[in-house]
Amino acid sequence: MFTGGPILTMSEEMNAEAVVVIGERIRHVGSLQQCRKVAGDSYRLVDLQGRCMVPGFIDPHVHVMMLGMCHTWADISYPKVKSIDELVQVLSDFSKHPIPPGSHRC
């Protein structure tokens, strides 16, 4: 059970007093009293010592299609483009060279 600091839930009830984790799953989020009931008699207490607990996740996916599309876009990043005039010039030059079907820009 985690308690002892702000616990942000990102739900309508933004803050919770405690979180119970059993195995690798969150089993309950709520008041300390509710969490003690869910946890039962034996649990390890993790004191957040005032630190904030926030939701998190590991995002193991990639956007392959988006990566491919990026190679077809004009590079208007700094320092290549430092002014509005340079931006207009880069986009103008880019528009004069269409991408042939089946090819890509790198």
Q: What is the DSSP string of 35-68?
A: HHHHH-S----EE-TTPPB----------HHHHH
Q: Of 70 and 5, which is predicted with more confidence?
A: 5
Residues 36 and 31: their CA atoms lie apart, in Å, by 9
Of the listed ranges 2-6, 25-29, 94-98, the least confidently predicted one is 94-98
- Average pLDDT across the chain, whole number: 87
Model confidence at 66, pLDDT cuts 50, 70, 90, reads confident
Nearest CA to 39 among 18, 23, 17, 20? 20
Per-residue pLDDT at 103: 64
